[in-house]
């Protein structure tokens, strides 16, 4: 693991790292904010949305100010492998580069490299816990859009790894959205039972844990009606501890995220520091 850049910020450091990934077979990059507090601190994993890299959240969300305030590290990985040579990898914004969907692909040609589920839950986590001053027993996960889908599904499937889950404008029922259907068909094939393992609205029905989930959704989000399908998740949740806050006038952008990011840090840290 190589540190490629470092900037002092709010008393801590925003660092960028690069490493060769066994999970994806490619070089992977991630950003990390390490707060000024001493010792091993709680850690939040942020998963970004379509077209994003490790840069977007760390430069646009104003997260470091609140990570420093609450004393928590933030890890923001890239959203897919890069430069695999797969035909069509760069052809569209919603499949291939920048669109890993946080699944382990089972279909050729994607299955060799597009293994973001394993990368985030195993390889990245183990790398971070081994090399950075974080307490892996106090970890949460959050994300936006495609990354919100990732945070929900990874969190629901791994209650032993994450104590808290939140999302901004997540793709909440990808089996019912064009984005999800396109990605799942390419990465997972046509068998719907394989899709269900990566659909939060399916997972929450049979959840074996009660890890609290917080979702913020802007009501001026252009993707809300056709792609995000938040109402499907809410209906499926039943009595699961899910809090959804609809925000009048806000869209799908980082202007929305930066407005409410402090509240997400407060939500996570109340759970992580118990």
Residues 149, 252, 264, 268: which is the catalytic one?
252
Share of the chain above pLDDT 70, in %: 100
Catalytic residue check, 145? yes
Phi, psi values for residue 50, rounded to 5°: -55, 140
Q: How confident is the model over 118-154, as pLDDT tens digits?
A: 999 999 999 999 999 999 999 999 999 999 999 999 9
Query: H-helix or E-strand containing 184?
Result: helix 178-188
Checking if the pLDDT of 92 tops 80, the result is yes
Provide the strand spans (E) within 21-107.
Answer: 27-34, 41-47, 73-77
pLDDT of residue 272: 94
Checking if the pLDDT of 217 tops 90, the result is yes
Can you tell me the distance from the alpha carbon of 116 to that of 100, in angstroms, rounded to the nearest whole number? 6
pLDDT of residue 103: 98
Residue 145 contacts residue 252 (beta carbons within 8 Å): yes
Share of the chain above pLDDT 90, in %: 97
Q: How many helices (H) and strands (E) does the chain have?
A: 10, 9
- The predicted model scores a pTM of 0.97
Strands 73-77 and 27-34: antiparallel
Structural tokens at position 231 = 């109402």
Task: Give the C-alpha distances (Å, rounded to integers) separating 52 from 39, 78, 123.
Answer: 31, 7, 20
Checking if the pLDDT of 168 tops 80, the result is yes
Between 168 and 208, the higher pLDDT residue: 168
Confidence bin at 2 (pLDDT 50/70/90):
very high
pLDDT of residue 229: 96
Q: DSSP state, 215? A: E
Can you tell me the distance from the alpha carbon of 271 to that of 274, in angstroms, rounded to the nearest whole number? 6
Checking if the pLDDT of 274 tops 80, the result is no
Structural tokens at position 69 = 């305030």
Structural tokens at position 55 = 């840069």
pLDDT of residue 87: 94
The CATH code of domain 2-272 reads 3.40.50.1820
Q: How confident is the model over 255-265, as pLDDT tens digits?
A: 999 999 999 99
Can you tell me the distance from the alpha carbon of 169 to that of 71, in angstroms, rounded to the nearest whole number? 25
Checking if the pLDDT of 208 tops 90, the result is no
Residues 145, 164, 166, 201: which is the catalytic one?
145
Across the range 241-250, mean pLDDT stands at: 98
Using alpha carbons only, give the angle 259, 262, 264 rounded to the nearest 5 degrees. 105
Catalytic residue check, 252? yes
Average pLDDT of the chain, as a whole number = 97
Residue 187, CA atoms < 13 Å, CB-side half-sphere: 28
pLDDT of residue 273: 83
Domain ranges of the chain: 2-272
Can you tell me the distance from the alpha carbon of 31 to that of 48, in angstroms, rounded to the nearest whole number? 12
């Amino acid at each position: 693991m190589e540190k490629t850049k470092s900037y002092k910020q709010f008393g801590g450091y925003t660092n960028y790292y690069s490493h060769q990934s066994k999970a994806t077979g490619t070089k992977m990059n991630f950003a990390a904010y390490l707060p000024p507090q001493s010792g091993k601190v709680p850690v939040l994993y942020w998963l970004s949305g379509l077209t994003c890299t490790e840069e977007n959240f760390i430069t646009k969300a104003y997260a470091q100010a609140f990570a420093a305030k609450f004393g928590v590290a933030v890890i923001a990985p890239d959203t897919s492998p890069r430069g695999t040579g797969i035909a069509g990898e760069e052809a569209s914004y919603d499949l291939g580069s920048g669109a890993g969907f946080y699944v382990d692909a089972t279909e050729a040609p994607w299955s060799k490299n597009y293994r973001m589920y394993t990368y985030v839950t195993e390889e990245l986590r183990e790398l971070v816990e081994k090399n950075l001053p974080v307490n892996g027993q106090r970890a949460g996960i959050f994300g936006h859009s495609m990354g919100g889908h990732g945070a929900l599904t990874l969190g629901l499937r791994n209650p032993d790894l994450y104590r808290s889950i939140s999302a901004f404008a997540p793709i909440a029922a990808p089996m019912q959205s064009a984005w999800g259907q396109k990605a799942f068909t390419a990465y997972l094939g046509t068998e719907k039972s394989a899709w269900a393992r990566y659909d939060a609205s399916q997972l929450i029905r049979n959840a074996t844990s009660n890890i609290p989930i917080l979702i913020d959704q802007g009501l001026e989000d252009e993707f809300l009606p056709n792609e995000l399908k938040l109402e499907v998740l809410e209906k499926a949740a039943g009595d699961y501890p899910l809090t959804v806050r609809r925000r009048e006038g806000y869209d799908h952008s980082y202007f929305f995220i930066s407005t409410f990011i402090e509240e997400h840090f407060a939500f996570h840290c109340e759970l992580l520091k118990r």
